[in-house]
Homo-oligomer: A and B are copies of this chain.
Amino acid sequence: MEATLDNLKSILAASNYKLTAQRKIILQILINNKGEHLSAEEVYNIVKTEDPGIGLATVYRTLELFCELGIIQQLTFDENCRRYELETGEEHHHHLVCSKCGKVIEFNDEVLEEFESELEKRHSFKVTEHKIKFYGYCEDCQ
């Protein structure tokens, strides 16, 4: 189920968590930045403009909670911090990362799904998730 401001309360309640102003604001920001890959620090800086009193720890705790609830997904680029993006319920997508300007292009492809099935058979491995990143140069940077 894709998270919205309207169903956040029920998503939280389903796991015995409470709806708080901070959680609402953070989800709002993630929705506003759908498609972005924000770090905790970046979320914190945006939240502060709406709720200057919020603590950084709360942002970390909320992002962790949202991950656990499947509202967002944690990404692993080769950087020194973790980034998060909204889980949209749409098809899985993957990333093309430009080594020069850092631009991230998203893509998805059914070829990968077939490849995955083949892989499962060959290695007796049950795939639950995949993360694929291609690094190189985007159109502008080549």
Give me the interface of A with B, judged by CB distance under 8 Å: 74, 76-78, 96, 98-99, 105, 107, 109, 111-112, 115-116, 118-120, 122-139, 142
Copies of the protein in its oligomer: 2
Q: How far is the CA of A127 from the CA of B130 in the complex (A)?
A: 19
A to B CB contacts below 8 Å, 15 in the list? A76-B78, A96-B119, A99-B128, A105-B123, A107-B122, A124-B142, A125-B138, A126-B136, A126-B142, A127-B135, A128-B137, A129-B134, A129-B135, A130-B134, A130-B135
Contacts of A96 in B (CB 8 A): 119, 123, 125, 127
Q: How far is the CA of A133 from the CA of B130 in the complex (A)?
A: 6
Contacts of A77 in B (CB 8 A): 76
